[in-house]
A and B are shown apart, each in its own frame.
Chain A
Amino acid sequence: MAELLRSEHCGIQFGGLRALHDISIRIAAGELLGMIGPNGAGKTTFFNLLTGVYRATSGVIFFDEHGLEKLKTFQISHLGMARTFQNIRLFADLTVVDNVLVAFHYQMKSSLGASVVRGEKWRAEEISWHDTARELLQFFGLWERRHELAKNLPYGDQRRLEIVRALATRPKLLLLDEPAAGMNPTEKNQLIGLIRMVHQKFQLAILLIEHDMSVVMSLCPRIIVLDYGEIIAEGTPQEIRNNPKVIEAYLGTAPVNYVTSN
C-alpha cells in the first residue's frame, strides 16, 4: 500500500526532558495503526509533532510526500491530517452544527466578503454545506442535538462530535487521542464499532492512541509501543501481548502470565 506518513528519527526535547527520541514510523494509506504506552510515554507529544503544534528538535516528517518541518498546524490540516484531543477541545459555546460547519472552512469557495454581500452563489454554497453537515451529523446520531451548545452535550457525545468535526475536514489521516478515555464498557464497545465504521466508510488511515488494551487490540492489526519517549516494540496484537519489554513497561516486574492470559 502507498505510504501516507513517514517520520524519520524524530525527537523533541523540553528543556532537559527528552520527551521523544528517534521515532521512525510509517503509516500506509488506509491503515489502522495503534499506539500505546504508559502515562507520559510521549504519545500525545507525538501527535503534537505531527500536527505542527510542537516542532521536532531532530528528525523529519513527511506526510503525503510533503515535508512538514516548515508547515503550520492549519497548513498541515489542509494536507489532510485531522485529530481529536485527549482533553476534548470542542468549540464549547458554539452549537453542535456550527462545530461541524466551521470545519468545512478550507473547502468553502465563497470568500468572507461574500458572506456579507450574500449573493445567490453564496446562498447556494451555504445551503449545500448545511446539507453536508446534516448528513454527517445524522450518520453519527447527533442531528437531533444540532442546536445544543457543544458544552452541554453528554461526555460520550462530545467525544463523538470531536470525531465528526475532524472528519468534516476530509482527512486522509485521522489521529485519535484516547477516544475511549472515561467511557464505560458499553460505550467502549460502541466506540469500537464506530471507529471501525469510520475507517471503512471514510477510507482513511487512523492512528489511534489508547490506554484501553481491549480497544486497541480489537481494532488495530499493527501496534506501536512507546515508553520513555522511545519505540520499544512494534507488531501485531499477539506479538505485543507477548513482548517481554512491553509487559515490563506496563507492569514493572510483575509475572508475565498476568497479561498474556488476558
Chain B
Amino acid sequence: MNLYYLQIINMIGINAIMAVSLNLIIGHTGQFSLGHAGFMAIGAYGSAAFTVYQKAFFLKLFSGLPPSLAESLLFLVALIFGGTLASLGGLLVGIPTLRLRGDYLAIATLGLGEIIRVLVLNLDFVGGARGFTDIPEYTNFFWIYLILTIVVVMMTRLVHSAKGKAFLAIREDEIAASSIGIDAFQYKIIAFVVGAFWAGIGGGLFAHLNTYLHTNSFSFLKSIEFIGMVVLGGMGSVTGSILAASLLTLLPEVLRVASEWRMIIYALLLIVFMILRPQGLLGKREFKWLLPKHPKGKNG
C-alpha cells in the first residue's frame, strides 16, 4: 500500500485510541480534562526512553529468542511502562484535582499538561529542546489496531455492566450517585487512571511510529483536538469517538488542496457540524454491531 495512506490509517488508529480513552473521562464520567496530550507525552517519552536505553539489555536477556521477537517483547514492555507512567501521572493529578468542580479541574489538568511539556524540555536524556531522535520504528498497523481493539472492548465492557454504570451515574448527577452509595471520587480516579494509561500507550505507539518526538506535538491544542473528537463523536459514544477521530484525522489531509485556507475551512466545518448536530455524530448511541454483547441481551 502507498506509504502516505498507510501513515494516515495508522494515525487514525492512534487518534482513535486517544479519543476512546478520553471518552471514558469526559464522555462517560463527565470530568472535563484538558490533560490528555500530557498523558500521551508521558507515555511517548517514557516508552521511547525505555526502548532506546534498555534495548541492549533486552536483546541480551532474550538472546535465546530470534531478535525480532525479542524486540517485539521490548516494545510491549516499553508500551506498558509508558502507560503505567502516564497512569501514575493521572493518579498524581487526579487526587488533588478531582475533588474540584468541573471548571477548576479543566484548569488544573491544563496546567499539568504544560508542566509535563516544560519538564521534558529540560530533560537532556530525552533530547530536551532538540527533540528525542533515533527512536526505533516498532509501531505498525498490526500493533495499533490490536491495541485499539483491546481498548474498545475494555471500555465498552466497563460501562455496559451493572457495576460500570457508576461512571455514567456520576456524569448524570453526582449527588444522586453518592446518595445510592457510589464513591464518586473513587470512580473519577479510576476513570482518570485508566484513561491516562491508554493515552500513555497511544503516546508510545506514536513515538515508535514517528521515531522522533518533540514537545510541540503535545501542546494543549493537542488536548483540545482530542476533546473535539469526543464531542464530535457524541459524548459517551465509543464508536462515535472512533468515527470522529477518523474524520478529524482525514479532514486536514483532504483539505491539503486548500493550502493556506486549510485550518480555516477545518474550523468552519467543525462549527457547522456542531450546529447541525450539537449532540455529536452519534449522540450517546453506539454502532452496536461493533461492540461486545451483554449477557442479558435485549431483554435486560
Contact = CB atoms under 8 A, between A and B. Distances in A.
Contact of A105 (B158, B172, B180): B180
A74 B295 contact: no
Interface in A59-73: 72-73
Interface stretch (B119-127, B159-167, B214-222): B159-167
Given A97-B300, A108-B163, A126-B295, A90 B176 contact: yes
A130 B255 CA distance: 49
Contacts of A223: none
A85 to B, nearest CB: 7
A88 to B, nearest CB: 9
A45 B41 CA distance: 46
Interface string A69-83: 000111001100011
A169 B181 contact: yes
Contacts of A53: 175
Contacts of A127: 295-296
A254 interface: no
Interface centre among A85, A94, A97, A165 (most CB of B within 10 A): A94
B12 interface: no
A100 to B, nearest CB: 10
A131 to B, nearest CB: 9
A73 B168 CA distance: 18
Taking residues whose C-beta sits less than 8 angstroms from the other chain, chain A's interface range is 35 or more
B157 A89 contact: no
Nearest to A170: B181
Interface residues of B, number: 29
Nearest to B300: A130
A106 interface: yes
A118 B180 contact: no
A98 interface: yes
B163 A82 contact: no
Nearest to A84: B179
A122 B178 CA distance: 24
B73 interface: no
Contact of B178 (A77, A93, A116, A130): A77
B154 interface: yes
20 contacts: A72-B183, A74-B184, A77-B180, A85-B176, A89-B179, A90-B176, A91-B168, A91-B172, A93-B284, A94-B169, A102-B168, A102-B180, A102-B182, A105-B166, A106-B180, A108-B163, A116-B154, A126-B294, A130-B296, A165-B180
Given A90-B173, A91-B176, A102-B166, 14 more contacts: A74-B178, A89-B175, A90-B172, A91-B177, A92-B172, A94-B172, A98-B165, A101-B165, A103-B181, A105-B181, A115-B158, A126-B294, A126-B295, A166-B180
Q: Which 6 A-B pairs have the closest CB atoms?
A: A115-B161, A77-B181, A91-B172, A73-B178, A106-B181, A89-B176
Interface of B: 154, 157-158, 161-166, 168-169, 172-173, 175-184, 190, 284, 294-296, 300
Interface of A: 51, 53, 72-74, 77-78, 82-83, 85, 89-94, 97-98, 101-106, 108, 110-112, 114-116, 118, 122-123, 126-127, 129-130, 165-166, 168-169
